[in-house]
Amino acid sequence: MYPQSPKPGRPWPRLASQLLPLAVAAALITATYYWYNWHPRFLEPGWTAAYHRAAGGWQRLPEVPWNIEALQVSNSGTVWALAGTHNSGSILARLDGAAWHIYSGKDWGVKEGYLASETFVLDGEELWVSAYDGILHGDGSSWKLYRDVKASALVAQGGRAWAIDEKGHLLQFEAGEWKPLVGPPAGEKWNDHDDWHEPKLARTPDGSLWLARSSLWRLDRGKWREVDTGFEDPSLLGVAGDRIWLWDGPSLRSISIEDESQTVYSTAQTGLAKGEWVYAAAGHAGRTYFATFRGMVEFDGATWRRIPGPASGVGQMTQVRVAPNGDLWVLGDIPNPAWKYTQIVRFLVPPLLSLALLAVPVWLVRSAKRTRLQEHQQVQAAVEHFTGEAPELLQRTERRLQKESSWAGAFVAVTLPIASFIGYLTLRTFWRSAPVWTFLALAVLFHAVYVLWRSRVKRRPKPWDPIEPGGPGYEWTDVRRSLPGTLLLFVLMNFSEVNRAIGDPVLWILYAVLVWSAHRMISRLLYNAAIRRGEYDRALAFVRWFHCYNPGGSRALRFRGFALMMAGRSREAEEVLRRAIARETRNADQAYALDHLGDALLDQGRYQEAMRSFEAALRAQTGFRRPYRGMAEALLRQHKDPQRALELVESIAGSSGPSRNRWTVNGEVRDDYWGLKAWALAELGRGGEVASAVENAFGATNLKSPADAAATCYRAGMAMLAAGNEGAGIAYLKRACEADPKGRRGALARSALEERKRLPIS
């Protein structure tokens, strides 16, 4: 009995195993999204509330649905708040009586309005704030967004506004438009990504502009002039009366607007605790109020004192505003008493989600490698069935795939790029200006350390290792396969820089894929066209040209072996195809190589070996039917078991009959099916059915192709000879010789004709 082609397995279990990780990944990504956009108060360390202090004491303002980030009070007492939402940008809120009137991005013409709270200022009743899309100006009844003008710092007064843009240039708004005023201070090194030196602008009552960044600057006659404070990275708290206030951590400093005289107040004088952060300052009627980490502090010019907070439990104050009538408006943080219990949830969930998300690509990589291992084992079993043993190269590949398909192997493949990314982020923590190429340097370092560690563990090379005994003891296979992921991560991290350097990297990847696909398609079209025309030497030349980068690869060897076999050079084809089989690991390609090798052995009259090769091809690829053609022809050439030959012919087509689809693994088989069927029917003595089968064979044959025409003529000739129609049989064999004089079928037809000449006349 000959083995049947393995039946295709049920697709749903395999499809489910591929879709399940994707479904889990989608669920985890959704859970992560909602987690980071879900901010219930019981999971927050605290929340911000706004308070108003008048003669009657403190009063809490109505709550804004989101966390208030900044507060402003106009001269008429109108209260504005800027609040940050967790998933749709920022909102502006104006207090109208006992409720807030909310303004969102759609009110000023954008989908999601992200606003910078540190640029939120009022000029009279008009509001200015830097948005993601520009600078927003309005009063609640009308809004205007000045697009393409972005501000890192902003101040407004008397109908005019000033802004520091991302490059450090000072812009001025006047007469309805923004105009450049002066460049960045000469001593400041401006960097788009410098988060340590956020600029702050202040406008003092005398009309002067002040800028605080790594130093303090005053605009004097159209140029920035540095004011020596002795502070490194001074924090500008605000303007109170005729003085500007700075803080550097240990002490407070006030600077006179008139003569720039300075006064320093130590923590012993102010009563501030060690490490107590000061956030803002505002003044009225000779008094200055400071918002600090531990509440409110008041300074009357001589005495420092703490002001009782608005309510018990209200801790740090982050902003303070003073109305013209002396009322205080502040932002205070309310600690969450349950935080000490719920913070464990907040700290544990993100790493657990990260680990779960990491597990998905590990799962996918392992699943893909296990599928690849199973396919390789199927190929190896097929080759072993044919040769009696598996080549050493296939055994090495199996051991490598076993290692890569383990959880540890998949984990390494996924985490090596991530380890490089984490290392880069850690480096940026200590060296904020670290260049982007350090990521690749760290990636190479991590990969090298892993290789050295694995090689040291292995110490003594084994004979089955992919390295030669006595050779270099380093195996780079694992890290070589993770390098594309590392490079992809690098491109994603630096997408804008890569885009500026070479253009859109996605397009470059698409171009590379298109070029490679075009190379494969053109080489295949030219090769197939040469085979169909019977130009086998030209087909071999195409293989050399298009596979010059890897002439010893399995694909090049398989194409070369098929062309040699079609040219009738069966011994050369056998040698080349055996080399291809030893290198090929893909199921379908291995099946084709074994099928071609079976044909080469068949042409040499080595029928038993040919049969084993065809059987191995059936084992290598599920649903593969092409080898049945060679198995049927092997029996017919030996004039053995024609009934079994007919059964094998029917197996070519399967239960649905001869396929017209050229895009299946079996390709077009209708001409082979009818030609071999005619031959088998003749051998069975069913001569009345032979002519019809021959007619069908020619109807299904591309007669413009010498190889196809010669194959059908050869089989028709052998069928007619077996049916006793000597004249028609010889005529068909001669047509085969004429159609493909330099090819395989022409040589077989000539051999058949010579054999007929040697037969005695009955």
The packing angle between helices 407-430 and 339-387, to 10°, is: 140
Find the helix or strand (DSSP H, E) in which 100 lies: strand 99-103
Q: How far apart are CA 38 and CA 85, in angstroms?
A: 10
Residue that is written with structure tokens 């071609």 in the block: 596
Q: Does pLDDT of 392 surpass 70?
A: no
pLDDT score, position 255: 93
Q: Does pLDDT of 20 surpass 60?
A: yes
Query: 34: buried, middle or exposed (CB in 10 Å: 19+, 13-18, 0-12)?
Result: exposed
pLDDT score, position 208: 92
Residue that is written with structure tokens 């031959």 in the block: 679
Give CA angle at 517 (513, 521), nearest 5°: 175
The answer to whether 617 and 381 are in contact (CB under 8 A) is: no
Task: Kindly write down the DSSP assignment for every residue of 518-565, as one continuous string.
Answer: HHHHHHHHHHHHHHHTT-HHHHHHHHHHHTTT-TTSHHHHHHHHHHHH
Confidence band for 622, pLDDT divided at 50, 70 and 90: confident
Least confident of 3-12, 76-85, 247-256, 423-432: 3-12
Q: How many helices (H) and strands (E) does the chain have?
A: 21, 28
Q: What is the mean pLDDT of residues 301-306?
A: 92
Q: How far apart are CA 211 and CA 153, in angstroms?
A: 9
Q: Does pLDDT of 492 surpass 70?
A: no
Q: Does pLDDT of 8 surpass 90?
A: no
Q: How far is CA 490 from the centre of its chain?
A: 11
Question: Which residues, other chains included, contact 521 with Cβ-Cβ below 8 Å and sequence gap of 6+?
Answer: none
Q: Does pLDDT of 6 surpass 50?
A: no
pLDDT score, position 9: 47
- DSSP state, residue 111: S
Q: How far apart are CA 382 and CA 453, in angstroms?
A: 36
Q: What is the mean pLDDT of residues 672-680?
A: 90
The residue with greater pLDDT, 355 or 400, is: 355
Residue that is written with structure tokens 């892993």 in the block: 450
The answer to whether 158 and 123 are in contact (CB under 8 A) is: yes
Confidence band for 413, pLDDT divided at 50, 70 and 90: confident
Q: What is the tens place of the pLDDT at every residue in 704-744? A: 888 899 999 999 999 999 998 989 989 999 999 999 998 98
The answer to whether 362 and 88 are in contact (CB under 8 A) is: no
The residue with greater pLDDT, 634 or 36, is: 634
Which of 43-57, 303-317, 521-535 is predicted most confidently? 521-535
Least confident of 32-36, 479-483, 636-640, 746-750: 479-483
Query: What's the one-letter identity of residue 359?
Result: A
pTM for this entry: 0.54
pLDDT score, position 24: 85
Give me the domains of the chain, ranges plus CATH numbers.
Answer: 16-35+349-511 (no CATH), 228-335 (2.120.10.30), 625-762 (1.25.40.10)
- DSSP state, residue 104: -
Phi, psi of 248 (to 5 degrees): -125, 10
Q: What's the start-to-end Cα distance of the chain, in Å?
A: 36
Q: Does pLDDT of 459 surpass 70?
A: no
Q: How far is CA 583 from the centre of its chain?
A: 31
pLDDT score, position 637: 92
For residues 122, 127, 132, 135, the Cα torsion angle rounded to the nearest 10 degrees is: -100
Q: What is the mean pLDDT of residues 523-536?
A: 90
Phi, psi of 757 (to 5 degrees): -70, -30
Query: 387: buried, middle or exposed (CB in 10 Å: 19+, 13-18, 0-12)?
Result: middle
Confidence band for 537, pLDDT divided at 50, 70 and 90: very high
Decide: helix, strand or coil at residue 182. strand
Confidence band for 460, pLDDT divided at 50, 70 and 90: low
Decide: helix, strand or coil at residue 7. coil
For residues 215, 220, 223, 229, the Cα torsion angle rounded to the nearest 10 degrees is: -10
pLDDT score, position 398: 75
Q: Does pLDDT of 211 surpass 80?
A: yes
Q: Does pLDDT of 610 surpass 70?
A: yes
pLDDT score, position 354: 84
Least confident of 49-53, 89-93, 656-660, 748-752: 656-660
Least confident of 56-60, 74-78, 196-200, 637-641: 196-200
Question: Which candidate, 233, 248, 331, places its Cα nearest to that of 282?
Answer: 331
Q: How far apart are CA 105 and CA 308, in angstroms?
A: 38
Q: How far is CA 432 from the centre of its chain?
A: 26
Confidence band for 663, pLDDT divided at 50, 70 and 90: very low
Residue that is written with structure tokens 């490079």 in the block: 487
The tokens for 622 are 């599920």
Chain mean pLDDT for the chain: 82
Q: What is the tens place of the pLDDT at every residue in 347-380? A: 888 888 888 888 888 888 888 888 778 777 777 7
Question: Which residues, other chains included, contact 600 with Cβ-Cβ below 8 Å and sequence gap of 6+?
Answer: 561, 564, 565, 570, 571, 573, 574, 577
Q: How far apart are CA 681 and CA 246, in angstroms?
A: 104
pLDDT score, position 661: 44
